Structure 1
Amino acid sequence: MSTSLKKGLMYVLIANFINLGFNLITNFVLPKELSVESYATIKTFQLYVSYAGLFHFGFVDGMYLKYGGKNVQDIRGEDLRTNLSTLRFFEIAVTIICAFVAVVLKQEVLVFFALSILPLNLANYFKQLYQATGEFSLYGKIMNANTILIFFANMMWVYLIKTDNAQCFLFSNVIVYFIVWIALELNCKKLVAGEHRGTSFSLNELLNNIKGGILLTVGNLSSVVLTSMDRWFVKALMTTLAFAQYSFAVSMENFMNVAVTPVTTTLYNYFCKATDKSQIRKTRNYVMVFAAAIVSCAFPARFILEIYLTKYIDSAKVMFLLFAAQIFYIVIKSVYVNLYKAQKKQNIYFIKLMMIIVVGFIFNIVCYGIYKVKESFAVGTLLSAICWYFLCLPDFKWMEYNTKEKLYPFIQTCAFLVCGFCFSAVPGFLIYIFEIAVVSYVSFPREVREFSTKVKIRISGLKR
């Protein structure tokens, strides 16, 4: 693994661990202190926000592909200035239109969402720029800023003002989005020194970026549709309590991003430069073991449910099914999606994703038709992840699998669900960790030995 990749992983990993501390508190305090209705409203807003990226219509992803693999210092200041200011004007217009529609519809949550479009997409522009160019320390700072500011705002509403009004929490979220965006604008001016002056709008820049990135954007948003489809079904077909419990399970699942995001973020830049197929295959194997190990986070989350958040204990089975799906999603997003992007195969990526959305929709309907419980939608999500995994394999035949590698994610999924459904948190965790160690060594002996050797070297270095 290259030094730059290791540094990138470390920067983003540190940022994610900082995020974890604040997010852990937030995601346990809000469901504990707020009413089910207010918590459900906040989760509805967050569900809407996950679609904000649709409203740059591919511009940000066009920039991402345009600058991928370059150093930020190598980008002409004039080029970046025009690119950024064009998006800024475009997003102002989009925000005004969406806010007008939300007001006409008299939907408060939609109004807050409409106001979030401008700052979120501009902040995402900078995040993608820093990711594409390998500026991972700046990427990490963006992630921390949002999380920390929203955390303090939430704690203020809960403990100082002591309100259960969901609109207060949504308002503070929007304010934080604007603060982070403005700070990023100021930082970008410093980054490109004196060349980043003035404002301009270029129709050609707008159209070229949208043309270059629209398929990737639709692909990314389709991925969001796929992974959030189950919540839309729960919101439409079940009670507010069921939606709140299901959303809580999803928020627990999102904690894995603390460890997953460094991998998905840095591997794009790595795959843009990597040419050795054996190294790419080895990286894939590491990601497979990592995916199987990281889902063990579900057991501590269940432990907290058992002793602290008993009113959400019914979300435990949903949580384990969603975590099981991540054994496949992490490999898909970290390896295959990044390879689609790095090798400019976004057309193929888009087609496969459209197929999976249709399959996922059918799975959700069929599963709910068989058993009308919220867990049915989590089963549909797991089945969709498995289908997507299989659809990716033919596009990268050169990344060969042996029999043990093919069976590995399925063995781990079965073991994880058995430990999660049949045991309480502590014994389930211990049994699953032991199973991971044994099966990983049998399936990937070379990778496990290499990793163990590196760990021993690091430990001995610390002792000196």
Structure 2
Amino acid sequence: MNLNSVYIRQVLNVVIANLVNFVCSVLITLILPKLISIKDYGEWQYFLLLFTYVEVCQFGFANGVYLRYGGCSFEEMDLGLLKKQFMIVFLFILTGVGVILFYTHQVLSISILGFVLCIPIMTWRFFVDYLLQASGHTDEYAKILLFDKLLFSLFLLFHYLYFDVFHVNDIINSFIYSKILISIYCCIYLKEFLQAGIRKISVWAALQELMNNISVGSKLLFATVCSLLIVGSIRFVIVDIFDKSIYGKVAIVLSVCSFIMVFVNAVSIVMFPSLRNLLNRGVSIRKYYQAAYVLFNLLMLFLLLSAYPLLFIFKYWLIQYSESGVFIFILLPVILFDSNWSIFSVTLLKVYRKESLILKITIVSLLFSLFLITFLINFQDILLVEYFISLIPLVLLIRFIYAEQYVDKLLTVNTRQINIFVVLTVFLFIILNNYLNLLMAGSLYVTYLFFVCYRYRKKIFNSYRILRNIK
């Protein structure tokens, strides 16, 4: 079986799992806001915002395992040594969480309390996810992903059918219960790891290897956290300056963007080990990168058309969130800019072990985001939530363009023309929908995209042939 067939099968498995994940998430997003108050929904979204930072608490251990063992099978790993390292990390985290809960549980809000309870649960889950991805077990990873959202959906359904009422506490409890069960389910796929002996492995040897993994993984983890804060800092400011109800109206649009991102990022899950294998075999990935870059960005520009059905949903179904519809045309390009960063820039830099460069790009982007936030707060007499929402696609655009400069140099490729075309097309999309009626704006945008496809049809077909013939 050639690499192309394996790659396509792995992508399809992850995409199918993400499809179920996507359907469950969409149903939750469409139904949950109608069952609870805007205030409770804002609190729930605030909990999810905090939950995105739970990975920080494992100090980069799982990230280091992913980077150092990427492309290795379980047989090539010292599972006993890994097991002892995990036990050290888990016991340390469990102790810390116990101390926090003992002294502060009575004063913590439901969102923060739920976040703290998720820390030890997700420590195991992150380790499993990264280990399966590093070893190429994407089928198993896809199954875990599939059951994760299904369990949460079933818990919510059971609670609603049994109690016929929802509060934010019930939703967060259902979320935590589902994470506990899926963490137990993960054990099925790590039998070799759980059965590995650790008696002959000294604590000192495990600590040394643990520090090596943390040293490597902490750079990527810190970059991930900084990356989250690029948008997360804007989210926290919205919660602080306005309130959780306003944040809920913004977050519901960002949630929809996140669902689409789950689909898109499915490609990056299998791209890293595949590109690493190509590189280890001495195969140049330059032409494959360029071909994938062209096709991906073209598809993402067509994906912006999903704004119109989303606007319809907000207007006629989620009536209490109809104000959120005006944010769609501004926030939807977030998918394009963030996907380019995660799929192309981060994946390529990880393949070439340029974690320090990922960190540099992310820190610069975060500083730029904080500068813009500070500027708005200090130099605007009237603060509107629209100002802060507009910052989100802007800072992600800057990060995307900045990162591509380094990737171009690394691979000796030139994506400048494509990037200019993408940015101008996004601005065209936003301007058309702000100054014309929806029918006219949509018609002009579709006509423009088909004209581009016809004009560059040879380049598009050539890119498709290159990817199709990967061996």
TM (normalized to structure 2)? 0.88
Offset from partner CA, 1:34-74 (integer Å, 9 cap, x none): 10111111111111100000100111111111111222343
Q: 1:3 aligns with which of 5, 19, 25?
A: 5
Measure the CA separation in 2 of the matches of 1:19 and 1:171.
19
Measure the CA separation in 2 of the matches of 1:400 and 1:27.
41
The reply on whether 1:205 has 2:209 as its aligned counterpart is yes
Measure the CA separation in 1 of the matches of 2:357 and 2:434.
37
Q: 1:174 aligns with which of 173, 176, 180?
A: 176
Measure the CA separation in 1 of the matches of 2:372 and 2:157.
39
Residue number in structure 1 paired with 2:158:
156
The reply on whether 1:405 has 2:413 as its aligned counterpart is no
Measure the CA separation in 1 of the matches of 2:238 and 2:34.
21
Measure the CA separation in 2 of the matches of 1:453 and 1:211.
38
Measure the CA separation in 2 of the matches of 1:29 and 1:278.
45
The 3-state SS of whatever aligns with 1:151 is helix
Q: Tell me how far 1:426 sits from its aligned partner.
A: 6.5
Q: Tell me how far 1:198 sits from its aligned partner.
A: 8.0
Residue number in structure 2 paired with 1:394:
405
> After the TM superposition, which of the residue ranges 125-134 and 430-439 deviates more from structure 2?
430-439
Measure the CA separation in 2 of the matches of 1:154 and 1:420.
37
> After the TM superposition, which of the residue ranges 440-449 and 79-88 deviates more from structure 2?
440-449
Offset from partner CA, 1:98-152 (integer Å, 9 cap, x none): 4345426433321111110111121111111122222111111121122111111
Q: 2:68 aligns with which of 56, 66, 69?
A: 66
Matched AA of 2:218: I
Q: 2:31 aligns with which of 16, 29, 32?
A: 29
Aligned-residue sequence identity (percent) comes to 17
The reply on whether 1:437 has 2:440 as its aligned counterpart is no
Flag structure 1 segments of 5+ consecutive residues without an equivalent: 456-464
Residue number in structure 1 paired with 2:305:
296
Q: 1:283 aligns with which of 280, 287, 292?
A: 292
Residue number in structure 1 paired with 2:267:
263
Flag structure 2 segments of 5+ consecutive residues without an equivalent: 279-283
Q: Tell me how far 1:171 sits from its aligned partner.
A: 1.2
Q: Tell me how far 1:254 sits from its aligned partner.
A: 1.1
Measure the CA separation in 1 of the matches of 2:262 and 2:93.
29
Residue number in structure 2 paired with 1:313:
322
The 3-state SS of whatever aligns with 1:4 is helix
Matched AA of 2:221: T
Measure the CA separation in 1 of the matches of 2:29 and 2:87.
36
Residue number in structure 1 paired with 2:281:
none
Measure the CA separation in 1 of the matches of 2:463 and 2:287.
15
Measure the CA separation in 2 of the matches of 1:247 and 1:102.
28
Q: Tell me how far 1:430 sits from its aligned partner.
A: 5.3
Residue number in structure 1 paired with 2:123:
121
Does structure 2 retain, via aligned residues, the 8 Å contact 1:246–1:318?
A: yes
Residues 293/160 of structure 1: CA separation in 2 closer, same or farther (3 Å cut): farther
Residue number in structure 2 paired with 1:106:
108
Measure the CA separation in 1 of the matches of 2:134 and 2:437.
42
Measure the CA separation in 2 of the matches of 1:102 and 1:426.
55
Measure the CA separation in 1 of the matches of 2:360 and 2:330.
26
The reply on whether 1:372 has 2:374 as its aligned counterpart is no
Residue number in structure 2 paired with 1:52:
54
Measure the CA separation in 2 of the matches of 1:16 and 1:424.
34
Measure the CA separation in 1 of the matches of 2:374 and 2:312.
31
Measure the CA separation in 2 of the matches of 1:377 and 1:243.
11
Matched AA of 2:389: A
Measure the CA separation in 2 of the matches of 1:367 and 1:159.
46
Residues 387/448 of structure 1: CA separation in 2 closer, same or farther (3 Å cut): same
Measure the CA separation in 2 of the matches of 1:192 and 1:411.
50
Q: Tell me how far 1:95 sits from its aligned partner.
A: 2.6
Matched AA of 1:259: F
Q: Tell me how far 1:422 sits from its aligned partner.
A: 4.6
The 3-state SS of whatever aligns with 2:164 is coil
Does structure 2 retain, via aligned residues, the 8 Å contact 1:16–1:258?
A: yes
Q: 1:236 aligns with which of 234, 240, 261?
A: 240
Measure the CA separation in 2 of the matches of 1:358 and 1:40.
27
Greater relative contact order, per chain length (Cα 8 Å cut-off, separation 6+): 2
Q: Tell me how far 1:167 sits from its aligned partner.
A: 0.8
Measure the CA separation in 1 of the matches of 2:61 and 2:343.
22
The reply on whether 1:385 has 2:396 as its aligned counterpart is yes
Matched AA of 1:336: S
Measure the CA separation in 2 of the matches of 1:38 and 1:62.
37
Q: Over aligned residue pairs, what C-alpha RMSD do you find? A: 2.7
Measure the CA separation in 2 of the matches of 1:409 and 1:236.
34
The 3-state SS of whatever aligns with 1:163 is coil
